[in-house]
Amino acid sequence: MIQGTTKLLGVIGHPVTHSLSPAMHNAAIAHLGVDFVYLPFPVKPEDLKAALAGFAAIDLRGFSITIPHKQAILPLLSSVSPIARAIGAVNTVYRTDKGWCGTNTDVEGFLAPLQTPATPPYQGGAKDVISPLERGNTAVESSPPPYQGGARGGSETGAVESSPPPYEGGARGGSDWSQKVAVILGNGGAARAVVAGCAQLGCAEIHVVGRSAQNLAEFQQSWVNSPMPVQNLQVHTWDNLSMLISQADLLVNTTPVGMHPHGEKSPVSAAALDRLAAGAIAYDLIYTPNPTQFLKDAQQRGALAIDGLEMLVQQGAAALKIWLDTESVPVDVMRQALRQHLGLD
């Protein structure tokens, strides 16, 4: 029950009514029994600075950020983590004695279903989610629960399908990514988090595919003098995609192609996807529809599929751990709340 002692968390955006964050965070808060509530706050771009002052005045403990504020908030914060500066965007803000501090948990969210689970299989919430990339450590240090999301390929109806067997994590052929090739579709903001994640994994090659040669060149250059330089990054225009797919151990869609209400579309043609090796990992950051056409097509060709819902859950779990100053949050509860909210169960 909300009362005078209840501490506030939230999400800001414009608009913000579409945000799924309140559903998963309030489910976790209820499960933990802590005196918090997570609320959506619509904030217009021109009101961002005033909103920060207002949040401080009412002792808001922290908040998530969605479009269009992820970049605009950077100069308004007292400190920004190296990972957020490298990506060029903040998605999580928390308050300290020095003021508002920003970080980005998208890398942790992206990595979670790719990391090898602990032995014996971890059954609880997420472990320590402070990114090893921020520590300057290239080793994967935390392990999520086995991946339960995704959907089987082969559906002709477009209906939500049952989950595949749990993906056990790690690269095709094992947990060593040092000989693996990542191919990333798109070169926007989401692609930056994926590049950082692939660098964290230690991928031998990271290839980014985009439409504009100029934008791709700028994207590549931005990592040269980054707080976290990525040396093994190559960029390509779309006409090289078929060749790249044949080399891919990890194929990631960061574009909006295939997102609801255009769920019948895929960023990759059937002919190009035929070149994807069986056992490769197809990862789509889109979570509606679930599964996307891209993932269904990839699974029909023997790929392992990961959908964007798991990344959404895991980046939220990382943020909640910061706000609550805890090392354990109920990731399974958050995942289930989102699946129910989206009508996937």
Q: What is the pLDDT of residue 159?
A: 33
Question: In terms of Cα–Cα distance, which of 167, 143, 174, 150 is closest to 249?
Answer: 174
301-342 confidence digits (pLDDT tens): 999 999 999 999 999 999 999 999 999 999 999 999 999 999
Beta strands in the chain (DSSP E): 7-13, 36-42, 62-65, 79-80, 92-96, 99-103, 181-185, 205-210, 233-237, 250-253, 281-284, 304-306
CA–CA separation, 331 vs 126, rounded Å? 6
Residues 6+ apart with CB under 8 A from 124: 145, 328
Instruction: Give the per-residue pLDDT at 128.
Output: 33
pLDDT tens-digit profile of 175-186?
689 999 999 999
For 64, list phi and psi in degrees, rounded to 5: -90, 160
Residue among 49, 70, 98, 321 flagged as catalytic: 70
Q: Taking the complete model, does pTM exceed 0.85, yes or no?
A: no
In the chain, the N- to C-terminal Cα span, in Å, equals 27
pLDDT value, residue 130: 34
The predicted pLDDT at position 345 comes to: 78
Which burial class, exposed, middle or buried, applies to 318 when counting CB atoms under 10 A from its CB (0-12, 13-18, 19+)? buried
pLDDT one-digit tens code per residue, 157-172: 333 333 344 345 555 5
Provide the pLDDT for residue 134.
40
3-state secondary structure of 184: strand
Q: pLDDT digit string (tens) for 203-243?
A: 999 999 999 999 999 999 999 988 888 989 999 999 999 99
Rounded-to-integer distance, Cα 212 and Cα 209, Å: 9
Using DSSP's 3-state secondary structure scheme, residue 237 falls into strand
The whole-chain average pLDDT of the chain stands at 85
H or E stretch including 11?
A: strand 7-13
117-145, pLDDT tens digit by residue?
Answer: 533 332 333 333 333 334 333 333 333 33
Does residue 98 have an active-site annotation?
Answer: no
Q: Is the dihedral of CA 75, 81, 86, 91 positive or negative?
A: negative
Residue 40 has pLDDT above 80, yes or no: yes
Cβ(138)–Cβ(87) below 8 Å? no
Higher-scoring residue by pLDDT: 158, 290: 290
Tell me what percent of the chain is helix, strand and coil, each rounded to the nearest 5.
Answer: 35, 20, 50
Q: What tokens appear for 80 in the block? A: 């920004």
- pLDDT one-digit tens code per residue, 55-98: 999 999 999 999 999 999 999 999 999 999 999 999 999 999 99
| Strand bridging mode 92-96 / 79-80 | unpaired
1 pLDDT band, cuts 50/70/90, is confident
The pLDDT of 31-56, averaged and rounded, is: 98
Higher pLDDT, 235 or 156: 235
Q: The tokens of 93 are what?
A: 């803000």
2 is written with which tokens?
Answer: 């909300």
| 153, pLDDT greater than 90 | no
Q: Strand pairing of 7-13 and 233-237?
A: unpaired
9: which strand partners? 38, 62
Distance CA 227, CA 340 (A): 39
Centroid of chain to Cα 252: 11
pLDDT at res. 115: 83
Please, is 165 exposed, middle or buried when counting C-beta atoms within 10 Å of its C-beta (0-12, 13-18, 19+)?
Answer: exposed
Burial of 94 (0-12, 13-18, 19+ CB in 10 A): middle
CB 326 within 8 A of CB 28: no
Q: What pLDDT, on a 0 to 100 scale, did the predictor assign at position 245? A: 97
| Token code pair at residue 191 | 């692609």
